[in-house]
Amino acid sequence: MSAEKSPLPDRLEDPPAGENKINRKAVALVSGGLDSALAIHLVKKQGIDVTAVHFTSFFSPLDIEDEDSPVRNLVRQLKVPLVLRPKGRDFLELIRNPKHGHGKNLNPCVDCRIYTLVKARELMEEIGASFLVTGEVAGQRPMSQRKHTIRFIEKQAGCDGIVVRPLSAQVLPESLPEKVGVLDRGRFLGISGRGRKIQLKMAEEIGLQGYSTPAGGCLLTDKIYSRRLQDLLDDTNEPSQDELDLLRFGRHIRLRAGLKIVVCRNEKENVRLERSAPAGVMFFPVGFPGPLVWASGRPEPEEETRIASILRRYSRPASRGDLIGIRETDAGERQISVTDVAEDDWIEAHMIR
């Protein structure tokens, strides 16, 4: 995958809807959190036909297919249709090379917001809607929700004037639907900053339940996950979906370029790894309880011994055996005998975290 060019356009053309083309149909971005749900509620109260869109990615919660997931739960309560759109391989390229930089970790918040508005505008045009709705709150997020950044993102996405932010409308410039009277600005709010008392009170008043917590979203804001992802991107041009999913659990240890191992922490992770491991080499204890260890590359004999010693390190000393099984994709199984236990200092020096 090339890192030479960002998938974001330099700037899109102006939005297609002029003042005389604003109708009463909108697309609302829904995250599963409280703010986006409240934004939909406020717009629906004004008689707007709302379609919700949720963007799935490698880096967001995996429970979207669950009927009780926050996103699906909220759209049922709000009585709006839901469209799912994936952030694809172009989004992975954006992670590698964000035009506007990363946040504290590997989160490209400004570029991500432009990306989602571009994709939401495409859906808007597909279904004949004329504006977008978001749950953004001015000043809530330091990188992407400052007042001037909100306007910058909107313009870069080619959505100038057609993004409605009901929770902060009264402290932001008027959107086009407000200007032409399709929406009554006076029925929106003027929230700014990181406090959530108003939103929580409003949710209680309307009986809204099952929304996700503010910290329950993007994995790219997580320090350890971001370091694992950066390590994978540095080592692999085209990581697979399975390799990306693998970043979510286990202990990740880099032995060298082209060879990383994942050591399971418990039986639940053993089952998960057994079910979903990408092609590679699996190490497993023979005749004693212990973790499964997956290797991304083809280890040399001395590296096999090292990996087996790591497996033994994370097995209980009282029941630790010395026979380690090795299963290679399309190459059958064999066993090696190892009595060493990997040193904690060595593991710490090679752990990705």
Residue 145: is its pLDDT beyond 80? no
Task: Identify which of 14, 20, 35, 15 has the alpha carbon closest to the alpha carbon of residue 133.
Answer: 35
Task: Identify which of 153, 149, 159 has the alpha carbon closest to the alpha carbon of residue 129.
Answer: 159
**What is the 3 state secondary structure string of 221-268?**
HCHHHHHHHHHHHHHCCCCCHHHHHHCCCCEEEEEECCEEEEECCCHH
pLDDT at residue 3, rounded to an integer: 41
Structure tokens at 331: 């190459």
Structure tokens at 127: 């279904």
The tens digit of pLDDT for each residue in 34-53 reads: 999 999 999 999 999 999 99
* 49 or 3, higher pLDDT: 49
Q: Are 56 and 85 in contact (CB under 8 A)?
A: yes
Region 117-128 average pLDDT: 96
Ordered by start, the domain boundaries in the chain are: 19-217, 222-350
Distance CA 295, CA 254 (A): 10
* 67 or 28, higher pLDDT: 28
| Neighbouring residues of 222: CB distance < 8 A, sequence distance ≥ 6 | 105
The tens digit of pLDDT for each residue in 263-321 reads: 999 999 999 999 989 999 999 999 999 999 999 989 999 999 999 999 999 999 999 99
Residue 120: is its pLDDT beyond 80? yes
pLDDT at residue 237, rounded to an integer: 87
Task: Residues 19-217: name the CATH superfamily.
Answer: HUPs (3.40.50.620)
Grade residue 147 by pLDDT with cuts at 50, 70 and 90. Answer: confident
Could you tell me the pTM of the whole model? 0.83
Residue 212: is its pLDDT beyond 90? no
pLDDT at residue 8, rounded to an integer: 59
pLDDT at residue 138, rounded to an integer: 87
The tens digit of pLDDT for each residue in 245-255 reads: 999 999 999 99
* 58 or 4, higher pLDDT: 58
Placement of tokens 């699906």 in the chain: 72
CA distances to 1, 25, 29, 50, 333 from 21, in Å: 40, 11, 21, 17, 66
Q: What is the mean pLDDT of the chain?
A: 90
Lowest mean pLDDT: which of 92-101, 208-217, 223-232, 280-289? Answer: 208-217
Distance CA 124, CA 164 (A): 13
Highest averaged pLDDT of the listed ranges 11-25, 99-113, 263-277: 263-277
Residue 9: is its pLDDT beyond 70? no
Instruction: Burial-class residue 25 by CB neighbours within 10 Å (0-12, 13-18, 19+).
Output: middle
Grade residue 343 by pLDDT with cuts at 50, 70 and 90. Answer: very high
Grade residue 1 by pLDDT with cuts at 50, 70 and 90. Answer: very low
